[in-house]
Chains A and B, each alone.
Chain A
Amino acid sequence: MIRQIVIVALLNFRNLRRRFWPSLVIVAGMACVIGVMLSMLSVTDGLRQAYLNIDDPLNAIVVARGSAFEGASSIPRAQARLVLNAPGIARGADGAPIADATVMSGVQTRRVGTGGRAYITLRTFGPKGTALRPKFRMLQGRMFRPGSHELIAGYRAQGKFQDTGLGGHIIMPDGEWRIVGIFRIDDLSDGQVIGDTETVMQTMRRTAYNRVLVRLTSPAAFTAFRRALTTNPALSLDVYRWSEWNRKISDDTNTFFHVLIYGVSVILAIGALFGCFNTMYAAIERRAREIATLRAMGFSAFAVAVSVMLEAAALTVTGALLGALVAWALYDGVPSGMGSDLFTLRVSPAMVGLAVLWAIAVAVLGGLLPSVRAARRTVSEALRAT
């Protein structure tokens, strides 16, 4: 049986050249579907990866109970102090817990190029800010001095936001704050600016933190840490592993975009499916005699049907790979941004795999009826057909 399928399939592929233009309909159609889909997914995947990069198995994040995002979380100073004394937090050489209660805010700048308004994310570091981020390093300049109007900027920020290079200024409520250093952490922070927590809170008139980031003694210490905080009636907090929280945040935005992206892709794919159906249908019509001859020679109907499907699949997969190649060439590794998040677009191998799956699905759905028809036609009828 397998042998039969292989023989018929090979026969199909060999005379594919004669059906070049019709076959191109399938290839081009599928390439359009996948090209569009992966181009759009490169944004959500890039964003997701950027969020997943903010990961350290030792770090845990504490936010106010029920906060869907950091901006919606506020932790009063008194509660933050209790968090710092919870069990499971690693301690530095000075004996103080490696934990950092911080605030965040959007600060207005101008966009590079158009000069339009844009918001850059301002985060803050307390004394333990860098200890929580082993990957943190200064590329240029120096660290801000607490108490003075100074900020440090991520190395990517100046690609999008004006005046965020070394020596640039950001306008804060109490005047201009100078950028005294450029840093890199290899996560979303690279497109943000960072200042001293207490100084920023004073300026922004904040009385509460947005989150507390802590470094645990070991990843296993998380459970005890969480239990200590969530069972304390004086606290109203949620505790997440840092990676878990970041995945939650990125999934939240991505769900929305995925609905739109897959919506568009499904409609396109239905179009491609009809194209596939039409082409394969025409192909078996034209090869009616050839197929009948094969059948007369003893090839089974099943082998014929499968070979038609195989041909359809080969064409759709070729198209999908072509589309993926175009999307990859255009977008993989391209720096991009969404809102105040700066990240790199990504066309990952997993996405190419997804593309191939879609191609196979289109081939199966679009090739099913033609292949059944090819198989079910009686030999005598087909041989008589012109």
Chain B
Amino acid sequence: MKYVPLVWAALRRKPIRAAVTFLSVTVAFTLFGLMIGLNATMNRMEERAHADRIWTLSRFDLPGMPVTVARRIAQLPGVKRLSIMSYVNGYVGDPKNRAGIIFLDDVYGTIFPDQGPSAAQWEMLRRDRTALVMSRKQADSFHKKVGDTFTLVAPQTARADGTNLWTFHIADIYEDVPQFPGGMIAGAYDAYDKAVPLADQGKMNEVDILATDPAQAPALAERIDRLFANSPTPTQSQTEKMIYSSDNGDLDVKALTRKIAVIGLVMILFLIANVIAQSVRERQAEFATLKTMGFSDRLMVLLVVLEAALPCLAGALCGVALAAGLAQQIPLLLPRGYGIPTPTMAPSVFLWALGSAGLLALISAALPILRLTRMDIATALSRHAA
């Protein structure tokens, strides 16, 4: 500890250089924090996905499944509860402002208590069929507050009244959950079902099933699909675990974010290594003096490593903290209708950052240290004299 002033003095010798080094490390770790934070969020989404929930959709792009499909699924053994929903997609005001409402029945909230709305908010939908509850992201993007009217233009979903305008009032706004990066607008299934023309009533887009035994859920999903394979509406069922698993998509986002984070660090590695090498080279004589005074090699190694580690660790902490702030701004930058999971600065992100920062410091200090330990005191001192 008593050597800290020595390290501090070394850093203060060239304040601009030290400041810039610190800043560049901060920048690299801001990127690192955003990338690894995104990773952490995606991991959390995977972990949070329930193994006992099954999502059943139409296998083909057909106009709605009859609700009888849900009734038949309900009779299967191993089904505890199920819920049905319909989606209406369209836009608000201008076709550019894409939006959609998910119309849910009264059971949904009990199967998905973790999707954002509280029990009280689900109750609002049950009591008032003209009500919507909206996630904060959606409400912000359409500049809506509680009590406002929300009208969705849905060119493809005609209403019995001949229009395609879906007007509701906003009963409440809830905080977003990471599972729905773009946010969600929820309404009551009954409101939807009674509004569409008679021929379209009694149809739905999705059945969500709560299985009694999570271990049996994948088998149950297969069984559902087999049951409807040769029906007019073949289904496609997946457990929530499968849906949120990262190897489901085209692009391995997690691998990509890790790569970008590492490239950021490599870039900064060059810089730190160079700064440390330069600083040690300039102070050869000083180190020689220390050595003459009886400082052991090990102690000098410690001094150099500390000199590298101090800005690295401080930068890593500041960078990740900055990333935490920036992460909140991401939704504002993205075009409406698109969302990415908000990076979360979980403790693991800080640990990874600190670990990587330490590693950066060690690698960048390695060469100068090698040179120091091989240093010939006499030459180093005489160079000072000259």
Contact = CB atoms under 8 A, between A and B. Distances in A.
B21 A66 contact: no
Interface string A62-73: 001111100011
A33 B266 CA distance: 11
Interface stretch (A105-113, A212-220, A239-247): A105-113
A182 to B, nearest CB: 23
A264 B21 contact: no
A237 to B, nearest CB: 11
Contact of B21 (A33, A172, A255, A278): A278
Q: Which of B91, B153, B156 has the most CB of A within 10 A?
A: B156
B230 to A, nearest CB: 9
Given A108-B236, A204-B62, A281-B20, A74 B274 contact: no
Given A267-B30, A339-B250, A274 B20 contact: yes
Interface stretch (A17-25, A137-145, A297-305): A17-25
Nearest 10 interchain pairs by C-beta: A274-B24, A32-B267, A105-B61, A66-B95, A256-B338, A271-B27, A275-B271, A267-B31, A68-B95, A278-B20
A357 interface: no
A259 B260 CA distance: 16
B271 A338 contact: no
Given A32-B266, A68-B96, A271-B27, 12 more contacts: A24-B270, A25-B274, A64-B156, A118-B250, A173-B59, A255-B335, A259-B333, A264-B31, A274-B21, A274-B271, A275-B24, A278-B20
Interface in B259-302: 260, 263-264, 266-268, 270-271, 274-275, 277-278
B270 A29 contact: yes
B13 to A, nearest CB: 12
A21 B236 CA distance: 59
Contacts of A24: 270, 274
26 contacts: A21-B277, A28-B270, A29-B270, A32-B266, A32-B267, A36-B260, A66-B153, A66-B155, A68-B95, A72-B89, A106-B61, A114-B247, A173-B59, A173-B60, A173-B234, A204-B61, A256-B334, A263-B333, A267-B27, A267-B31, A271-B268, A274-B271, A275-B268, A278-B271, A281-B17, A338-B251
A68 B236 contact: no
Interface residues of B, number: 51
Interface of A: 21-22, 24-25, 28-29, 32-33, 35-36, 64-68, 72-74, 105-108, 114, 116-118, 172-173, 204-206, 252, 255-256, 259-260, 263-264, 267-268, 270-272, 274-275, 277-279, 281-282, 337-339
A73 B164 CA distance: 13
A337 B251 CA distance: 9
Contacts of B271: 25, 29, 271, 274-275, 278
A103 to B, nearest CB: 9
B61 A33 contact: no
B27 A270 contact: yes
A259 B24 CA distance: 22
Nearest to B322: A267
Contact of A275 (B91, B156, B267, B278): B267
B347 interface: no
Contacts of B266: 28, 32
Given A28-B267, A255-B335, A173 B24 contact: no
Find the residue from B232, B236, B338 having the highest chain A CB count within 10 A: B338
A105 B63 CA distance: 12
B349 to A, nearest CB: 16
Interface string B124-161: 00000000000000000000000000000101100000
A68 B98 contact: yes
Nearest to B21: A278
A278 B277 contact: no
Given A173-B232, A205-B63, A268-B31, A278 B24 contact: yes
Contacts of B250: 118, 337-339
A274 B61 CA distance: 52
B340 interface: yes
B217 interface: no
B267 A260 contact: no
A385 to B, nearest CB: 13
Contacts of A68: 91, 95-96, 98
B68 to A, nearest CB: 16
Among B30, B63, B263, B274, the most chain A Cβ lie within 10 Å of the Cβ of B274
